[in-house]
Amino acid sequence: MTHTERALLTESVHDTLREQIFSGELPPGTPLSVPALAAKLNVSRTPVREAVQQLIYEGIAVYTRNAGAKVDSLDADSIRAVFEVREVLDGLAAFHATAAATHETVQQLKKMVQVQRELLDGPADQRRDSRLDLEFHTLIRETARNKPLSVALLRLDGQSHLYRSDMWSADLNRRLAVTEHERIVGAIESGDAVGARAAACAHVAGLLVRTTRM
């Protein structure tokens, strides 16, 4: 296997584990045993080991001596701190993405939200819905063309999915999130950078309340 092939395999394993964590298939506290995961994914241990190390770096997993790696867990205070920072940075990303977005990018965002809207008529799928949500926010962040901002938000977004990963199973949460996504896209399409920032900030603030609400 070439270096490029190994890197691609590691990336694939990382993306799979990340998606399983976000969907709740691997909930907080789940051990990330390299041999067990390698057998489950039918790959060698090396890409799994490297993928788990990446998850640790991203703050999604944690390593404990003599116990190994496991999916991290955040309490209410920790997740509130994560969302407070994410609110500011996601607003900044939407602000800059408004000026940088091409017609093609706007159409991509509109299509993403349209798909999310149409899926509301069917049953919830935590893995699918969390993946679509991440893809939506990632496109906005990439459009902002600020790598440090994108890297910081990728880490924060991962951590924000560790608390109450069942949020995407509730119909009300799904509908509110899609409506908030529509507001962000509407502001970006109209060229309202200030409005896009406000909509993105309000979206993250709303997610925090809904995520931590008992």
> 75 vs 9, 25, 71, 80, CA distance in Å?
33, 19, 13, 9
User: The pTM is what?
Assistant: 0.83
pLDDT band at 195; cut points 50, 70, 90? very high
Rounded Cα gap, residues 20 and 98, in angstroms: 31
State how far the Cα of 65 lies from the Cα of 118, in Å rounded to an integer: 46
Distance of alpha carbon 136 from alpha carbon 80, whole angstroms: 22
Share of the chain above pLDDT 90, in %: 68
More confident residue, 161 or 17: 17
Pair of tokens at residue 110: 């509109």
pLDDT higher at 167 or 156: 156
